[in-house]
């Protein structure tokens, strides 16, 4: 019974609508009606605060990708879609969850997560874009408003923790139970059941976004259809996600009918999509030997580009297994053949870095940074090489040159903390370690770091004031979090 309730409450704006009983008519599906019921919504600033807190809560419970290349790719695809949406200036943040389950969801403040399992299930870049466009549409069409309104009656930390716990309810019954208690204690009716109209609108708007951003509208029904067909092979052991979020025949039919209204054309995948899928297969793979077999089996299959991607994947697998000579050989050959492909060049530099060949790695990264100055994934790795070679001041300058979007990544604060540590500025180092722990949803550790910073010698008035303000803020956040439990 508890699990059923959790699934009904799940704050997961997934790709598929809930499954009706076999005897029910599909028109009776009760998905969330999230229109503005009273006109009294939380402010945009509060929504952004809730979104940030929600993301921190997720970071504390699930493995969110920190790899700069993966993050740069998913953010670039998301922004390409957002640019042609109804809210091109809305501050969306896209991220990848390193989980093999097939899932995608949107949270408050435009935080959109996509599981690595879903990305690896797609067979075309437009299929991935179709899922992301659908989630963007849920946000731009205000389908989240009623949830935001309900959350607005709670403190930001309480609401964020509750939303994250509900999202993870099917994976962690304990967290899900905590979410139920929070809802009951606050006398909050918190339910996100998209109406069929919401889902149809998200499909329709998402398909328009796909077309305007030069992705294939037909990818949406194609992906739905493949997932529906995959359920046939599970028998009675259908995964929980596919049982509760099936792809119905009517949804496939509706989306295909809309897709057929667009002119047919070819939409080739970007090389970036193929390379990121190879990297995620290594990052999310449980058994490197199985991952190796996967790439080895494809070295002589497909197009020349696909074979090259398999070679790259094999190199990443060798690097993950610390088979440095093999990785070095593979990446040297790739760079020789494709000198302008940043992923191959960065992989070669990363191989040198992981072999503790710091001077060589730095030289490679400096060259890449000069050739591709706008590539922030390269900047992150360049900063690491600077720290390894004792050039902390250069690392600090490079960190402050990163975009505001990079500041949403916990690794940004971790690198800042390490940088100031090497600059022998312990107060600043502890200060940024505090921000790192806070970004990871570990507020008590953040409090410890601030207190350590306050004990540092030579504090000036400005920094002392910042530390006092952050300590009070973290203490209040921790108090509210304790009250929520």
Closest CA to 395 of 408, 404, 407, 385: 385
The number of C-alpha atoms within 13 Å of 145 and in the hemisphere containing its C-beta is 16
The residues assigned a catalytic role are: 135, 203
> Nearest 5 degrees, angle CA 479-CA 483-CA 485?
120
Q: How far is CA 120 from the centre of its chain?
A: 14
Spatial separation of the C-alpha atoms in residues 416 and 414, rounded to whole Å:
5
Spatial separation of the C-alpha atoms in residues 289 and 26, rounded to whole Å:
45
93: part of which helix (H) or strand (E)? strand 93-97
CB of 302 closer than 8 Å to CB of 269: no
The sign one gets for the Cα dihedral 375, 109, 159, 32 is: negative
Please give the full DSSP string across 244-287, using - where no structure is assigned: HS---HHHHHHHHHHHTTSPP---PPPHHHHHHHHHHHHHH-S-
DSSP assignment letter at 85: S
Spatial separation of the C-alpha atoms in residues 93 and 443, rounded to whole Å:
22
Spatial separation of the C-alpha atoms in residues 348 and 374, rounded to whole Å:
19
């Amino acid at each position: 019974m508890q699990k059923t309730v959790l699934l009904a409450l799940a704050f997961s704006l997934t790709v598929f609508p809930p499954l009706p009983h076999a005897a029910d008519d599909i028109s009776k599906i009760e998905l969330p009606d999230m229109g503005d019921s009273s006109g009294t919504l939380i402010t945009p600033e509060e929504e952004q605060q809730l979104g940030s807190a929600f993301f921190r809560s997720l970071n504390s419970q699930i493995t969110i990708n920190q790899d700069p290349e993966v993050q740069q790719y998913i953010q670039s695809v998301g922004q390409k879609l957002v640019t042609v949406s109804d809210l091109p200036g809305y501050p969306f943040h896209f991220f990848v969850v390193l989980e093999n389950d097939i899932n995608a969801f949107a949270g408050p403040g435009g935080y959109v997560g996509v599981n690595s399992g879903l990305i690896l299930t797609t067979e075309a870049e437009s299929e991935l874009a179709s899922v992301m466009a659908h989630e963007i549409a849920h946000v731009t069409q205000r389908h989240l408003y009623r949830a935001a309104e309900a959350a607005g009656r709670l403190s930001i930390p309480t609401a964020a923790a509750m939303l994250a716990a509900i999202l993870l309810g099917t994976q962690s019954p304990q967290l899900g139970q905590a979410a139920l208690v929070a809802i009951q204690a606050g006398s909050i009716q918190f339910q996100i059941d998209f109406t069929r109209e919401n889902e149809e609108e998200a499909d329709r708007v998402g398909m328009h976004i796909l077309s305007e951003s030069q992705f294939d509208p037909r990818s949406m029904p194609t992906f739905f259809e493949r997932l529906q067909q995959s359920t046939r092979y599970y028998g009675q052991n259908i995964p929980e996600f596919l049982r509760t979020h099936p792809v119905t025949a009517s949804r496939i039919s509706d989306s295909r009918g809309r897709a057929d209204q667009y002119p047919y054309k070819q939409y080739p995948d970007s090389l970036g999509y193929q390379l990121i899928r190879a990297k995620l297969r290594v990052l999310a793979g449980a058994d490197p030997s199985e991952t190796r077999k996967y790439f080895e089996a494809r070295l002589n299959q497909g197009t020349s580009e696909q074979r090259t991607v398999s070679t790259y994947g094999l190199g990443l697998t060798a690097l993950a297994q610390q088979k440095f000579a093999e990785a070095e050989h593979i990446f040297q050959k790739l760079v020789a053949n494709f000198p302008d492909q940043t992923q191959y060049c960065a992989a070669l530099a990363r191989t040198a870095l992981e072999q503790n060949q710091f001077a060589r790695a730095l030289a490679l990264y400096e060259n890449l940074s000069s050739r591709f100055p706008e590539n922030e994934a390269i900047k992150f790795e360049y900063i690491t090489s600077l720290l390894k070679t004792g050039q902390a001041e250069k690392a600090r300058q490079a960190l402050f040159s990163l975009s505001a979007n990079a500041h949403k990544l916990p690794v940004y604060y971790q690198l800042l903390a390490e940088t100031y540590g090497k600059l022998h500025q312990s107060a600043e180092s502890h200060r940024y370690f505090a921000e790192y722990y806070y970004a990871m949803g570990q507020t008590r550790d953040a409090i410890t770091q601030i207190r350590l910073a306050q004990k540092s010698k030579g504090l000036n008035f400005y920094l002392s004031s910042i530390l006092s303000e952050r300590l009070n803020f973290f203490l209040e956040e921790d108090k509210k979090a304790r009250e929520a439990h």
